[in-house]
Amino acid sequence: MIQLPEKRSPQSLTLMDRVEKLLTAAPVHLVVILLAVLWTLPTAGLLISSFRQPDVLLETGWWTVFTPPFNPGQFHLGNYADVLTGQGMGQAFLNSLIITIPATVMPIAIATFAAYALAWMRFPGRQLLFVVIVGLLVVPLQMTLIPVLRAYNTLGMSGTFLAVWLAHTGYGMPLGIYLLRNYIGTLPRDLIEAAAVDGASHLKIFTRIVVPLSTPAIASFAVFQFLWVWNDLLVALVYLGGNQNVAPVTLVLRNLVGDRGQDWHLLTAGAFISMIVPLLVFFALQRYFVRGLLAGSVKG
């Protein structure tokens, strides 16, 4: 029963290790925290400002709210009320929903059917088709603005919701087919063949097997498309023209900047209204979104 001196040494080693670890880790913590704060500060400033009285907003910086004496009276909801009713943000918010929901559902439906056909149906030219679609992924949509706008003008469609729904469906299609085909193509072959042997039609295999199993990919594409359409300015600007009745939040916000760039209380509240929905969607579905990013970009 000899006390082994070694018994203590691992413990003291871990202590030494810990001190050393702390010392070497300190710069890491410093850099990470600094960057995280730096990245958050601009948005935090906007959020705080959007609740401040218009006159104080123009006189002092938003960070002064943290200096004593603390005065809760400087915060109010008036900016939001102003921008929602007076500046048409309320209607624009509704318009953004009307534009974004169908412009997300439509490409999902169309791209999923196409991805299924490309992955599990045999027909001539399907490889070539897919290569063309991959190529279209990077075409700048600026390339298409003038001809599509002219077609819309001839058809009398510019300034309508249908015009933007269809345009977003077209522009989102290459990414949708690409992401979904890659995913649907990796589903187990046995499963789909077994269903076919049992006499299930393609539509049945599609709705009962493929769609339920592809939920992660569909969700990630949905987040992509939703963020892209909600945040879009270019498509709305070009195809909706000056029609204020159908303008989404991005367009109204841009006009606020243009017309009255110094009305900070309207700008800050307006910007935050435009950010609420995408931020909620983003946080709720962040997992899928990240997975979708990875599926489309890192694979292979």
Partner 1 sequence: MQESSNIIRLLSAIAAIVLGSGGVIALFYAANILVNRLPYQLRSRILPWVYMAPALAVLTAFLILPTIRTVIISFMDRRSEAWVGFDNYIFAFTNSDMLIAFRNNVLWLVLVTGISVSLGLVIAVLVDRVKYEPLAKALIFLPMAISFVGASVIWRFVYAYQPPGVEQIGLLNAIVVALGFEPIGWLVNKTVNNFALIAIMIWLQTGFAMVLLSSAVKGIPKDVIEAARIDGANEFQIFWRITIPMISSTIVVVSTTIIVLVLKVFDIVFVMTGGNLDTDVIASRMIKEMFNFRNFGRGSAIAVILLLAVIPVMVTNIRRFQQQEANR
**Are the C-beta atoms of residues 219 and 281 closer than 8 Å to each other?**
no
39 binds partner 1 (CB under 8 A): yes
Q: Which is nearer to partner 1, 46 or 209 (CB)?
A: 46
Q: What tokens does 182 get? A: 């890659």
Stretch of 3-11, 12-20, 40-48, 71-79 lying at the interface with partner 1 (CB under 8 A): 40-48
Q: Which is nearer to partner 1, 156 or 300 (CB)?
A: 300
* Among the listed residues 26, 58, 77, 81, the single contact to partner 1 using CB under 8 A: 58
Q: Per-residue x/- marks for partner 1, 149-188, CB under 8 A?
A: ------------xx--xxx-xxx-xx--x-------x---
262-281: contacts with partner 1 (CB under 8 A): 264, 267-268, 270-271, 274-275, 278-279, 281
224 binds partner 1 (CB under 8 A): no
Q: What tokens does 202 get? A: 């393609």
45 binds partner 1 (CB under 8 A): yes
46 binds partner 1 (CB under 8 A): yes
What is the smallest separation between the CB atom of 93 and partner 1, expressed in angstroms?
10
* Among the listed residues 65, 105, 195, 219, the single contact to partner 1 using CB under 8 A: 105
Q: Which is nearer to partner 1, 113 or 213 (CB)?
A: 113
**Are the C-beta atoms of residues 92 and 251 closer than 8 Å to each other?**
yes
- Evaluated on CA atoms 166, 168, 174, 177, the torsion sign reads negative
25 binds partner 1 (CB under 8 A): yes
